[in-house]
Structure 1
Amino acid sequence: MRRTDPEGHGPVRYGPPLPDDGLPVLPELADRVAAAAGRAEAEPAGGGTALREAACGWFGRRALPALPDRVAAAPGANALLVALTAALGGDVLVPRPCAAWWAPYARLLGRPVFHVATPAECGGVPDPYALLETVRRVRDEGGDPRLLVLSVADDPTGTVAPPEVLHEAVEAAAGEGLHLVSDETWRDTLHRPHGTVLLSPAEMLPERVTVVADLAGALLPAGWPAAIARFPAGDPGAALHARVLDILTALGARVAAPVAAAAGHALTEPAAVTERRAAAVRLHARVAAAVHAVVVGAGALARPPQAGRHLYADLGPLRPALTGRGVGDAQELEDFLTDRLGMPAPGGHRFGDDLGALRVRLSTGPLLGATDAERAECLTSPVPLELPHVHRALITLRSVFDDLRDDAQRWEPPR
């Protein structure tokens, strides 16, 4: 079975960072960093006691009880995934599309990576039948699939996997003896928290799931790298935890002490942190809904965003117009939209999608303004979409997509 090696068109091996929230740093967290700036001692590999206990509390409030000796922290989820991939060995399975940073770390370790199609309902989890077929084919060709990485609240698609879809995927993975890494970075960014059911694979298969969450998803600025992991109970989980700590130690992958202080405080979820998070989620949900309306109004395809600060658009229906503008693949689409919109618009090839497919991830953070003052105003305004700087950004977005729609209609053959 052919492996999904990077294409030779454009810098696809290392993809874009997590979508930034575009907002000023919460003063309470900045104060924590400043107060810890004088600490000379380093955090231990895997995180100090205070940080790990705070992480246990965070997991516990999400129906994922944890003990400090089964939790680890690292400077970003990428370090945790590198350590987990190295510790587990074997081949790696990921959905198509998937977060841009998943596959490169497996390839860095020389691990084959195989993409699996996702169901129609959502991204982030593999279609169970496609997963079973992929595992069978890999094994028939001498491969050794051991690890499946998935995300219930997904980057890049912005969707949330329905529990029944997730259950079928987890059941298929368990039947094949795979270990699962559940990336739950975006679980606290649900646009309709009371109307969307989010379950973790660790609730369904506690003995074979390691949960990873990058705190840049909902708690910390992206420039303060910190992430946490929860390992399964039992002897295999203990052995995996120990091996991951060995690898983090060898890599020197320690959370910086000032960042650890802010992360530990944020993980306890004091009022200021939860209020900021809720306000940011509401803001990005509104902007994402507006972006989605623009995209589908122009004739492109996109699932309604349910979480995060992004959505995933398929501009295939607009291909005639794009071809006329010299755009024939995802790299060229990325270049075209980045230039026209004045904001990053990474193509689907960066997320493991086909280079020839005209798909792109659009983020909401860049639409909130150019200065901290403009972005902060978005948080407090009852009508953020009507603020002049946000309105101008949406007008630009609509103009670009409407032009493509009009050109595509001109290229349609008469009926």
Structure 2
Amino acid sequence: MVASLDVGHPFRQASNLALNEVVARRKAAGEPLVHLGFGESLLPVPPVVRDWLADGAGRTAYGPVAGDSAVRTAVAGYWERRQLPTDPEQVVVAPGSKPLLMALMAVVDGDVLLPRPSWVTYAPQARLFGRPVHHVPIPAGHGGTPAPDALRETVRAVRRHGGRPRLLILTSPDNPTGTLAPPEAIRQLCAVAADEDLLIVSDEIYRDLVHSPDLPFLSPAEVAGDRTVVTTGLSKTLGLGGWRIGAARFPDGPLGAQLRTDVLAVASEVWSTLAGPMQVVATRVFEEPPVITTHVRAAAVLHGAVTRAVHQIVTTAGADCRAPAGGFYLYPDFAPVRHRLRERGVTDADSLQRHLLDELGVAVLGGHHFGDSPTALRFRIATSLLHGGDDAQRDLALRSPAPERVPHIAAALAHLTHAFGTLTTGEGNATR
């Protein structure tokens, strides 16, 4: 059976950004909200990174579309240290990884295959270019990568119905589930991609935020290097979302060279080049001096500790939820307590999202925004904004050996314990 196509008007604001603006307005009005609805890392920027930005302030020329030689060499070295030998000519830098993903949607002609659930931006980007989208179920143990047998079945069913499946997007670690696909799953998916002639885009923006360095990470580019584009950026690892720095690694060989040429053609008409000062920052960061690697490792430990604490809260409240392995996300399923939620008028993802916000003071993003079934009782939790409301609080969290016990984080966790307990057991009173 062919997976259902995404439909809807493509010209609407991204759901995560829209929710973030709603929460900002309501918090400014004095509402006591805990914001779990936006995947933004706001950890303090290391002072040396601010210095690098100042060093680049005089870079006012456009420069090459792909980025200058220094930044592409630094990014190539970053991937080289991750078992992906890379020539600088395989690299393109851009104002965030999001434009690179969109450019790939523009130049790869064919249907798009996505895990169900998957990040909120992939499907809308595809729709902007008229690309049919097919969601493929994820395995029970992890997200970010479709089940291999389901992928093969979907591809062949789409072809039988006249479709042209071509682009497979994977995320590892995953947004929205916060999980990491095991190496064997990656190998199986790469085998299916080879058999079915699929191009893979591996979104690895959370790669350096795997909670434990002992967890094995396998990039599809290590297995299917001739058909895999890898994307990354600095918005999550260093909290530089507003600076907009992303990079892509294209396959070595004719296919990769043509893809890179086509993406650069799009880039030349859309963003021209990564801003000069940001290229200076990117060069220094991707060279990975100890000040950067130490900071990123500390951030990964912090994200792991806080996300595990929230995982304990939602599972105690009765949800099924995969244990987190990387990044700062959870994807709980409240189907086990559906009968209790129905008593509160909660029957689907949308009503669950609204009830949590309006009655319990907790902002989340419903699973229907991620391509999931609208009738499911699932939503994404982003824990990164729990670290504090200013740099002083966030720095305290970053330096603490037990961040879940830092007073402002502990207060937020207490709010969540009360809210989810109220949601599923009726014990206690709503916060509003």
Tell me if TM exceeds 0.5: yes
Q: Tell me how far apart the structure 2 counterparts of residues 361 and 301 of structure 1 sit (CA, whole Å).
A: 13
2:65 aligns with 45
Structure 2 residue runs without a partner (length 5+): 18-37, 428-432
Deviations 1:394-413 (A, max 9, x none): 000000111223139xxxxx
TM norm structure 2: 0.90
SS of aligned partner of 1:278: helix
SS of aligned partner of 2:248: strand
Q: Tell me how far apart the structure 1 counterparts of residues 356 and 388 of structure 2 sit (CA, whole Å).
A: 18
Give identity over the alignment, percent. 43
Q: Displacement, 1:388?
A: 1.2
Q: Which residue among 28, 44, 51 is the counterpart of 1:24?
A: 44
1:411 aligns with none
1:370 aligns with 389
Q: Residues 78 and 105 of structure 1 are in contact (CA less than 8 Å); yes or no, is this contact kept in structure 2?
A: no
2:24 aligns with none
Q: Residues 44 and 239 of structure 2 are in contact (CA less than 8 Å); yes or no, is this contact kept in structure 1?
A: no
Q: Tell me how far apart the structure 2 counterparts of residues 341 and 47 of structure 1 sit (CA, whole Å).
A: 47
Q: Tell me how far apart the structure 2 counterparts of residues 57 and 309 of structure 1 sit (CA, whole Å).
A: 26
SS of aligned partner of 1:210: strand
Q: Residues 279 and 379 of structure 1 are in contact (CA less than 8 Å); yes or no, is this contact kept in structure 2?
A: yes
1:206 aligns with 225
Q: Tell me how far apart the structure 2 counterparts of residues 285 and 391 of structure 1 sit (CA, whole Å).
A: 15
Q: Tell me how far apart the structure 2 counterparts of residues 42 and 345 of structure 1 sit (CA, whole Å).
A: 40
2:34 aligns with none
Structure 1 residue runs without a partner (length 5+): 409-415
1:5 aligns with 6
SS of aligned partner of 1:21: coil
Q: Tell me how far apart the structure 2 counterparts of residues 7 and 337 of structure 1 sit (CA, whole Å).
A: 25
TM norm structure 1: 0.93
SS of aligned partner of 1:16: helix
Instruction: Specify the code of the residue in structure 1 equivalent to 2:322.
Output: R
Q: Displacement, 1:318?
A: 2.5
> Aligned pair in 2 of structure 1 residues 344, 253: CA closer, same or farther (>3 Å)?
farther
Deviations 1:211-270 (A, max 9, x none): 111221313511111111111111111111111111111112522222222122111111
Q: Displacement, 1:5?
A: 2.0
Whether 1:14 and 2:14 are equivalent positions in the alignment is yes
> Aligned pair in 2 of structure 1 residues 12, 119: CA closer, same or farther (>3 Å)?
farther
Q: Residues 13 and 350 of structure 1 are in contact (CA less than 8 Å); yes or no, is this contact kept in structure 2?
A: no
Deviations 1:257-301 (A, max 9, x none): 222221221111111111111111111110011000011111101
> Aligned pair in 2 of structure 1 residues 332, 259: CA closer, same or farther (>3 Å)?
farther
Instruction: Specify the code of the residue in structure 2 equivalent to 1:393.
Output: A
1:225 aligns with 244
Q: Which residue among 163, 167, 174 is the counterpart of 1:143?
A: 163
Q: Number of matched residues? A: 405
Q: Which residue among 241, 255, 280 is the counterpart of 2:299?
A: 280
1:246 aligns with 265
Which structure has more relative contact order (CA 8 Å, sep 6+)? It is: 2
Instruction: Specify the code of the residue in structure 1 equivalent to 2:421.
Output: D
Whether 1:113 and 2:133 are equivalent positions in the alignment is yes
SS of aligned partner of 2:52: helix
> Aligned pair in 2 of structure 1 residues 49, 86: CA closer, same or farther (>3 Å)?
same
Q: Displacement, 1:83?
A: 1.3
Q: Residues 324 and 330 of structure 2 are in contact (CA less than 8 Å); yes or no, is this contact kept in structure 1?
A: yes
SS of aligned partner of 2:332: strand
Deviations 1:134-174 (A, max 9, x none): 11111111111111001121111111001111211111121
SS of aligned partner of 1:273: helix
Q: Displacement, 1:23?
A: 1.4
1:412 aligns with none
Q: Tell me how far apart the structure 2 counterparts of residues 45 and 329 of structure 1 sit (CA, whole Å).
A: 45
2:357 aligns with 338
Q: Displacement, 1:339?
A: 4.0
SS of aligned partner of 1:229: strand
Instruction: Specify the code of the residue in structure 2 equivalent to 1:60.
Output: E
Q: Displacement, 1:43?
A: 4.0
Q: Residues 220 and 263 of structure 1 are in contact (CA less than 8 Å); yes or no, is this contact kept in structure 2?
A: no
Q: Which residue among 75, 79, 82 is the counterpart of 2:102?
A: 82
Q: Displacement, 1:2?
A: 6.0
> Aligned pair in 2 of structure 1 residues 162, 311: CA closer, same or farther (>3 Å)?
same
Q: Which residue among 56, 70, 75 is the counterpart of 1:36?
A: 56
1:312 aligns with 331
Instruction: Specify the code of the residue in structure 2 equivalent to 1:152.
Output: S
Structure 1 vs Structure 2 CA RMSD: 1.9
1:181 aligns with 201
Q: Residues 219 and 266 of structure 1 are in contact (CA less than 8 Å); yes or no, is this contact kept in structure 2?
A: no
Comparing 153-162 and 78-87, the one that deviates more: 78-87
Instruction: Specify the code of the residue in structure 2 equivalent to 1:311.
Output: L
1:405 aligns with 424
Q: Residues 20 and 309 of structure 1 are in contact (CA less than 8 Å); yes or no, is this contact kept in structure 2?
A: no
> Aligned pair in 2 of structure 1 residues 333, 260: CA closer, same or farther (>3 Å)?
farther
SS of aligned partner of 2:51: helix
Q: Tell me how far apart the structure 2 counterparts of residues 185 and 320 of structure 1 sit (CA, whole Å).
A: 38
Q: Displacement, 1:13?
A: 7.1
Q: Tell me how far apart the structure 1 counterparts of residues 278 and 349 of structure 2 sit (CA, whole Å).
A: 36
> Aligned pair in 2 of structure 1 residues 43, 310: CA closer, same or farther (>3 Å)?
farther
Q: Tell me how far apart the structure 2 counterparts of residues 345 and 312 of structure 1 sit (CA, whole Å).
A: 10
1:159 aligns with 179
Q: Tell me how far apart the structure 2 counterparts of residues 168 and 13 of structure 1 sit (CA, whole Å).
A: 36
Q: Residues 40 and 239 of structure 2 are in contact (CA less than 8 Å); yes or no, is this contact kept in structure 1?
A: no
Q: Which residue among 160, 174, 190 is the counterpart of 1:170?
A: 190
Q: Tell me how far apart the structure 2 counterparts of residues 231 and 251 of structure 1 sit (CA, whole Å).
A: 19
Q: Tell me how far apart the structure 2 counterparts of residues 25 and 336 of structure 1 sit (CA, whole Å).
A: 35
